Amino acid sequence: MRVRKVVIFSGEKFTVPQGIQRIDTKATHGWQVRYQGTKMFSDHSPDGSGAKASLAKATRELLHRIATLPAPVTLQRSPSAHKSSGLPSGISGPIVQTRAGSSTRTASLSVLLPQFGKRSKCTTVYIGSESTYTLDRFNQAVAKAVELRAEAEANYERAATRAKRKEGAAMRAALKQGDRAR
């Protein structure tokens, strides 16, 4: 899991995991967990002396959330405002092509299939040729494209959650190792 160095207003330095943010205002001082929602862990001191204890509580909460909640993903769920086809996000078309050496035009839909940690794949769903294209075949192709996209999104979310939980487990082990060294 990625960490960063944070120096708080009192000058004390901390190594903070991704998903925890420092909040220092006139009204409050503490650490905020930002993973599938937010939760504030106050220092309970105006001088920052409780920062270490509140960071430990925030880290435990972050690790608990990673272990029990799905990873947040940034896949686009709805079509862009400028998309005029009315098709769901990740699906484009119909795309009309003429095959080399033929005068027959065919139509298909293009489906973007996200893959966690890799480049997205693009696949096509055949609708029909000029003589076989119908509204019913178009609707069947859209249904198939939506199914492919939904399956790819679910796989993406599972892979992201597995990766995040693996990072969380490694961080938990490192923290336990650090506790034993004391």
User: Using one digit for the tens of pLDDT, what is the confidence trace for 103-112?
Assistant: 889 999 999 9
pTM: 0.77
User: Using one digit for the tens of pLDDT, what is the confidence trace for 79-116?
Assistant: 777 776 788 888 998 999 987 788 889 999 999 999 99
List Cα–Cα distances, 54 to 3, 11, 24, 87, 90, in angstroms.
17, 16, 13, 47, 42
Q: How confident is the model at residue 3 (pLDDT cuts 50, 70, 90)?
A: confident
The type of residue at 135 is L
d(CA 145, CA 30): 47
CB 22 within 8 A of CB 7: no
Domain definitions of the chain by residue range: 3-69, 77-182
